Structure 1
Amino acid sequence: MWWAYLDMWLSWASAICCNSTTFGFSLHGCVIQAAIGGGYLASARTRGKELRRIQEDEAAGNPFGFLYHDMNSLETSAQTSLPRVAVVMPLKGVGEFNIGNWRTQVTTLYGGGVDFFFVVESTEDPAFDAVSRLLKELGDQVSGRVIVAGMSRTCSQKVHNQLAGVEAMHKDTKYVLFLDDDVRMHPGTIGSVVRHMEENPKIFVTTGFPFDILTQRCLKAYCIFEYHMPCSIGFGASGGQTFFLWGGFMMMHADDFRNNRYGLVTGLRYGGYSDDMTLAAVAAANKRIISSPPDTIFFHPLGRATFKQYWNYLRKQSIVLETHITTVNYLMNRALFYTHCWLSWGLCFPYLTSLIHLLVILRYFFTSNPDFSPDIRTGVVVICCTITSSLIEVLSMKRLSRVETDLCNALSPESTPVSIQPYDWFLVFLSTIISNFMYPFAAITSMMTQHINWSGVDYYFHNGKMCRIERRKKKVKDPKNVTRTKNGAWDANHFQSTIVGRLIQFICG
């Protein structure tokens, strides 16, 4: 009797999956995967050209090819004439890899003047003592200091810290570089980016992108890695001008901040939450250039992550689409929101239909029921297309990962080489499904709640601007539609308490 019900259900499911509309959506998902794979190969080609340039320079007798293509640029007269740069690093706490990252950021081989500003919100931040010890250890080797910015009131803490660093710049500073504390910089990066800015003064901002070093076999960390990889296509495929901006690495003209050009300082200071989205909107509105050179790729060590950390990370990535500074910017962010959700669930759809087709095929070959006669041919086509597109995406991602690790190793020859050999590519494949399935839930939650809790601070949004900041020290009434976590913090991410959320959390461990 149970087998009869199973056959009836499988026949019904097979009929739906073999429907022309469902079949079309399945192939659409396969095309999405194949297109992403093509993007990976295009990025690998661009990064590979830069890698070969360095290797050819070294083969031609230039041991400093990772710094300069022309050895004449290493002469003292050329180095001393380089413009002054201010490096601003907003900090919050001390993570597992932060101190090592800070060392790579301050040990630059740039010949011009460089001032390093580590900006914290208060002296109680653990980062204050850690950076103070590091600067004391390095002594006169580094021109750096710690700045206490205080608590933000009208913008995110990161933006507040960045603007405090800008205010501390020397009057002769020509360029300002904003860095996150979780990336490893190469010794020649500042010189390379300054040279890029000098060659084309029309560039508004030069940016880069991280490559995740997976230090542990953790599915949630693999999901973050998989989220980053498709995003990297926008930074690596063109090898130059792009529409995308990553807030972890941004070099800009200092005068743009001194003169509040295009109102960018005002836009950041009053209601600004995301530095990169705000500056990208300013660039688009004023037709300014965002550039991403092929050598601005950086190692980003990634440790073990919990489901809550991963979920909050997705929420942080999606909440930026709820911010805007112009009507055009609002429309673009809405388009990105719906497109990303459509592509994410569209990519997952073939796996659902392929699973049903597989169950139907297995039942077809192991049943004696003469009335069970599903459309096997359509199922085989969908399964074969899904397998093919999955292989294209994963193998292309592996190719890009190998090229980017080789390039980073070449740009930092003094560091211990990193390899993708330990990476578990089955987990990468699994994380592709989980990450794309989860993102629309995070994006919809962000849109509905207009709220994010990040680093213990609650940010609320209204009309595209950050309207309220809460740092609670006493128990208050819970806002509507917001639940309370075990530690007492506001948590609009109540998706975790739903049946689907619990199921995903169980799968992710």
Structure 2
Amino acid sequence: MHIEWYQTVSLVFVITQLYFLEFIRRNNQHNLKRKDKDSLNDYRPNVYLTIPCKGLDTEFEKNISAFFKLAYPNYHLSFVVESEDDPAFPVLSRLKREFAGQTKALSVQVGVAGVSENACQKTHNMLHSLKFVPEDTEVLAFADSDARPLPEWLGSLVHPLKQEKKVGASTGYRWFIPIDGNIPVLFLSILNAKVAQILGKSRFNQAWGGSMAIRKDLFYKLDLHKIWQTCVSDDLTLSLQVLKAGYRIRYSPLCMVASYEAFTWKRLFDFIYRQLMITRVTSPIVWFLGVIASLFSVCGSWGALIYGIYGLANSLPSAYYALGTSLIFFAAMSVRAYWRQKTMQNLLYRYREDIQKYSIYDITLSSIVSLFMIVFLFVSAFGRTITWRGVRYKMISAYRAKRIRN
């Protein structure tokens, strides 16, 4: 029996797509089961939680207040800004006073790190905070000021570190929620959801700086306190060091955080470009795999659709195979979007209504957003200069960057 080339190509695309669909289905099931394990209360080490701040994020006070309300008994809370002139400083100082006696945090401090002379202001702030870590601290945890965690977030974040010989770091991830239907953030939330769905029982787990933890002794053993002095990315360099040392990075589903945002289109493009640029320089293999996956998705859906229409117009026998492949790809994208939306509504239960309000856009527009991802990846293939919270940096390597004076 003779098999035409287009039959082979179609079969390969469909089988690969169905395999990925099954992977996502199992991953969602795993994360829902994992949620209950990571919420156990049998491991409660002393934790030092650092949150670097610069400027006032959207709904800044609500985000910061959530860290005061964590249901964890043994943690120190440290906020750090560049200077007292930062708009975040007076707000943090006021919240510290307001929550005095109402938080389970053993101590709360608002530090001033000064201007970074070498690399990223964020890592500079974080290293300044670590100068004040109590001796009895076992775990270092980090979060971003645009994140809003659940009360059980910290307990779930440190629980995977109980497996000292296997797990080097634990992490969560963010879920963007548009404020008042903000379209740029709605667009971003769909892109971001495609990444979030991969985290779980996967070798592709990477630590995310807005929700990550590592044992204190391992942090210093891996020389992260030295690496962070000259780099831009706190999380990707941590991931590189942890994986290089032979440890795993465990994703904890209850460590997903909500990020309520309202962007302008310019801020959206700057954000996506910066994230992809940092990934390309710091972890080029991950970036390249993202390019391959995006190309595969677009070729199997839009590419096959366009070719199928062309084939019908020219009476090509391959047209029906192309259209069938396209239909399967579009359907699979919608099914995956539906699954991840349902999973996230379960994990971020406090924000279920807000997530549910915009879930239909992910389900129906996911394939269209994929087209734009190709464009962003292409643009991020060039240059090494990024702007982060008003400061420009030139990325020289994964471990080295230079602050550009304005």
Say yes or no: does 1:277 pair with 2:236: yes
Matched residue type, 2:308: H
Mapped to 1, the partners of 2:383 and 2:334 lie a distance apart of 34
- The answer as to 2:40 corresponding to 1:41 is no
Q: Is the alpha carbon distance of 1:292 and 1:197 closer, same or farther for their aligned partners in structure 2, counting shifts above 3 Å?
A: same
SS in 2 for 1:145: strand
**Letter in structure 1 aligned against 2:236:** M
Q: Deviations over 1:75-119 (max 9, x none)?
A: xxx9xxx4321110011111222211111122112122x211111
- Look up the SS of the partner of 2:110 in the other structure: strand
Tell me how far 1:279 sits from its aligned partner: 0.9
1:266 partnered with 2:226: yes
Counterparts of 2:180 and 2:141, CA distance in 1? 31
Between stretches 228-237 and 101-110, larger displacement belongs to: 228-237
2:308–2:319: 8 Å Cα contact kept in structure 1? yes
Which of 284, 293, 303 is residue 334 of structure 1 equivalent to?
A: 284
Give the residue type in structure 2 aligned to 1:131: L
8 A Cα contact 1:357 1:380, kept in partner: yes
Kept in 2, the 8 Å contact 1:203–1:289? The answer is yes
Q: How has the CA–CA distance of structure 1 residues 459 and 42 changed in structure 2, closer, same or farther, with 3 Å as cutoff?
A: same
Question: Which of 57, 67, 73 in structure 2 is aligned with 1:95?
Answer: 57
- Alignment of 1:438 onto 2:372: yes
Corresponding residue of 2:309: 358
Unaligned runs of 5+ in 2: none
Q: How many residues align?
A: 399
Residues in 2 aligned to 1:242 and 1:340: alpha-carbon distance in whole angstroms = 11
Q: Post-superposition shift, 1:446?
A: 3.5
1:124 and 2:59 correspond: no
Among 311, 314, 321, which residue is 1:381 paired with? Answer: 321
Quote the residue 2:151 is aligned against.
187
Match of 2:131 in 1: 167
Task: Find 2:330's aligned residue among 390, 395, 402.
Answer: 390
Superimposed CA distance per residue, residues 21-71 of structure 1 (whole angstroms, 9 cap, x where no aligned partner) = 7x87676665565444333312211123246x59xxxxxxxxxxx9547xx
1:458 has 2:392 as partner: yes
Distance 1:216 1:313, change over 3 A: same
Alpha carbons of structure 1 residues 91 and 356: separation in structure 2 relative to 1, 3 Å: same
Cα contact 2:53–2:81 (8 A) shared by 1: yes
1:138 to 93, 99, 115: 99
- Any stretches of 5+ residues in structure 1 without a counterpart? 1-18, 55-65, 325-332, 365-372, 410-414, 473-509
Q: Residue 322 of structure 1: CA displacement?
A: 3.9
Amino acid paired to 1:357:
G
Deviation at 1:179, TM superposition (A): 0.5
Q: Aligned to 1:448, which of 382, 389, 392?
A: 382
Alpha-carbon separation, structure 2, partners of 1:429 and 1:237: 27
Give the drift of 1:287: 0.9
Q: TM-score scaled by structure 1?
A: 0.71
Q: Distance in 1 between matches of 2:371 and 2:9?
A: 16
- The alpha-carbon distance between structure 1 residues 242 and 450, as it changes in their structure 2 partners (threshold 3 A), is closer
Q: Distance in 2 between matches of 1:166 and 1:311?
A: 33
Please report how far the alpha carbon of residue 401 of structure 1 lies from its aligned counterpart in structure 2 after TM superposition.
1.6
TM-score (norm 2): 0.87
SS at match of 2:318: helix
Q: Secondary structure at the match of 1:108?
A: coil
SS in 2 for 1:335: helix
- Supply the RMSD in Å over aligned alpha carbons: 2.9
Bigger Rg over Cα: 1
Contact 1:234 1:244 in 2 (8 A): no
Q: The residue matched to 2:174 in structure 1 has which SS?
A: strand
Three-state SS of the structure 1 residue aligned to 2:49 is strand
Distance in 2, Cα, partners of 1:386 & 1:416: 34
Contact 2:237 2:398 in 1 (8 A): no
- Match of 2:50, SS? strand
Output the CA distance in 1 between the equivalents of 2:30 and 2:201.
Answer: 6
